[in-house]
Structure 1
């Protein structure tokens, strides 16, 4: 995360203060003073530090009811092309902090975030407005689904995701999973792939705690949109976790019915993997049924944990269609390396295959970390 942290640095802060001053804003002594303390902080901490300093400077200049003056200042700053990139994150957080001082400014702050989102994104700051009054926020956000700017339409989906990376959670969104479905229904055929990808990721988020709602929603889209390639892609991407988890409704919707197949393997190129390294394997599938079979072919790595137990993770491999009696060989290389999101431990691991949700061929191997 070191390089990511530097997205907000002393140069970013100096530029932000300059842009706001030249937009008829006040001086920013508190904001400029933050540059001395940025180095040890994460990106999120840098955002919070600079935003808090901006709030102090702006309230010193405009008083406790600073929001209308600050909103006007930020809108004036939008006339400057270099008012963009990662300086926008603390700007959006500052707008929300000041707006939440008085509910009168709630709706205008949402519209300000929509104006700012094209310069980076307002998806993180909007979470606090959602937490403050979900129904009021969604009432405004629903109107964005027909906005001419794809960045605003994406904000409607991305900003309301249940498990948006880097963002604070909005408990009411997970408690009321149906609340954001109207947004997704309005956007799942959006002309922008940028927006549709967000819709699919949002649907996949919902699948973690509301799988039946996700399947029923996708089913209704399929029934309404027929052969739409855009809808098919969104559904496929949005159901990806449920397919890996072998959810019956998701498998059926995607055409992966129970099948009569024979699976041979997996055959490993080695029983030992030295980190960093990779494991190559291959296997065969034979369609023993009397009809053509559509297959969701995945594999499962059972990782050794620090306490000696194992934790399984399913990886997508491919989809395939086999005629009756047809045999096909599949191969894959799986990499093992230490990452911030996964720590590998020495010990016995295992590999399994998964075809239409059914596991086959447990095979063990050893990893030396």
Structure 2
């Protein structure tokens, strides 16, 4: 069994924080910090632990933010000495976000310095929320930083719907201000950064699908293989939804002349086994067709309604008159993100985002 996430912040991390914070700050009250940060720590979940450690920083670092920021800066790793890194810096992110809002440039500079040792994507969002124009003016400059962690911070920290973090409602409403940041990083030499750009665009696509489709269209001509992978990953939600312009960006056009036949291996599937199905696809037209084949399983819910989940399958190019047969085994087994219910389920094959064949099956749960 995987280790619970909450255990990423434990008593040892508190001791590490106390050691490095007091390294160049003799007045720092290590014992009080340890007592406050450790109190009942084992009974708390991850974010509760982090906030308790942050609160211990409130009580033990200087009230003036510049003095507190200097202690935090000195606690980071230097050229010749170890320092704070990893999950110990999550509560530091939260401290800066809470205490540093009136010291804008100093706080953003500290978060930039922190991010190579543990991402500062959680910390910078409070500053974007407080003064978006001012924050983005600084963050935009990070796209040319020599450190790839800092460049990634520019894209990841500005994601409108970053998981685990506060949302940025103004950027959800209008993401145009961050598009220049994403465009500047679209050919970054680090895949780590490019994946972040793709994820940010995918976030935006959930609220502004046409905007992202146009962004991709503007950057796809002459794209390198790396950029093409980024743009495809950025379009993944739109492609699953069958967004016409997004499909056209990747050569998936109209489906005239495409015929399909779907066959289930069995119409009854026991929980823990596989749903097996075969698809025959034929291009009966006179022109070549590029097709993206996905499938959706419409799961039975407790109230009797169905909830679809789309899964990627394959892509192919069909010459005129060509016929292909492909097969798939889809596992139906326990997963943490879904509760299964017995009853009728539906399988739908999607070609270029359009439903082309379907079949019902019964799920049996013993």
TM-score for the superposition, normalised by structure 1: 0.92
The equivalent position to 1:249 in structure 2, one of 234, 245, 250, is 245
Q: Quick check: 1:292–1:322 contact (8 Å CA) kept in 2? A: yes
Quote the residue 2:105 is aligned against. 107
Structure 2 distance, partners of 1:276, 1:45, is 36
1:130 is paired with a residue of what secondary structure? helix
Question: Who is 1:50 aligned against?
Answer: 53
Counterpart Cα distance in 1 of 2:22 and 2:160 = 37
**Conserved 8 A contact 2:122-2:157:** yes
* CA distances 1:310-336 after superposition (whole Å, capped 9, x unpaired): 011211111111111111122222222
Corresponding position of 2:11: 10
Q: Secondary structure at the match of 1:281?
A: strand
Alpha-carbon contact 1:296-1:356 (below 8 Å) kept:
yes
Matched residue pairs, number? 358
The question of 1:33 aligning with 2:36 is answered yes
RMSD: 1.6
Is the Cα–Cα contact under 8 Å of residues 31 and 54 in structure 1 kept in the other structure? no
Quote the offset at 1:98 in angstroms.
1.4
Q: How far, CA to CA, are the matches of 2:155 and 2:114 in structure 1?
A: 16
Q: Which residue of 2 aligns with 1:213?
A: 211
Residue pair 2:36, 2:53 contacting (<8 A) in 1 also? no
Change (3 A) 1:258 1:341: same
| 1:188-337 pair list within 5 angstroms | 188-223=186-221, 226-259=222-255, 260-265=257-262, 267-337=263-333
Which residue, out of 331, 352, 355, partners 1:359? Answer: 355
Q: Where does residue 187 of structure 1 map in the other structure?
A: 185
Asked if residue 120 in structure 1 is aligned to residue 123 in structure 2, the reply is no
Q: CA deviation at 1:31?
A: 4.5
Give CA deviations for 1:207-228 in whole Å, capped at 9, x if unaligned: 00001110111111124xx142
Q: Is contact 1:278-1:333 (8 Å) kept?
A: yes
Alpha-carbon offset, residue 339 of structure 1 = 3.2
Check whether the contact 1:70–1:95 (CA below 8 A) recurs between aligned residues: no
Give the direction of change, closer, same or farther, for the CA distance of 1:108–1:286 in structure 2 (3 Å limit).
same
Shift of 1:191: 0.9
* Native 8 Å contact 1:130 1:137 kept in 2: yes
Contact 2:18/2:33 (8 A) holds in 1: no
Give TM-score scaled by structure 2 length: 0.93
SS of aligned partner of 1:6: helix
1:2 Cα deviation (Å)?
5.6
What residue ranges of structure 1 are gaps of 5+ in the alignment? none
Instruction: Give 1:185 shift.
Output: 0.6
CA deviations on 1:113-159 (whole Å, 9 max, x unpaired) are 11111112111122111111111111100000000000000011011
Superposed CA offset, 1:166-221 (max 9, x none): 11111111011212111111111111111001001111110000011101111111
Unaligned runs of 5+ in 2: none
Q: Which moved more, 1:1-10 or 1:308-317?
A: 1-10
Q: Could you list the per-position Cα deviations for residues 280-311 of structure 1 after superposition, in whole angstroms to 9, with x for gaps in the alignment?
A: 22211111121211111100110111100001
Indicate the larger mover: 46-55 or 16-25: 16-25
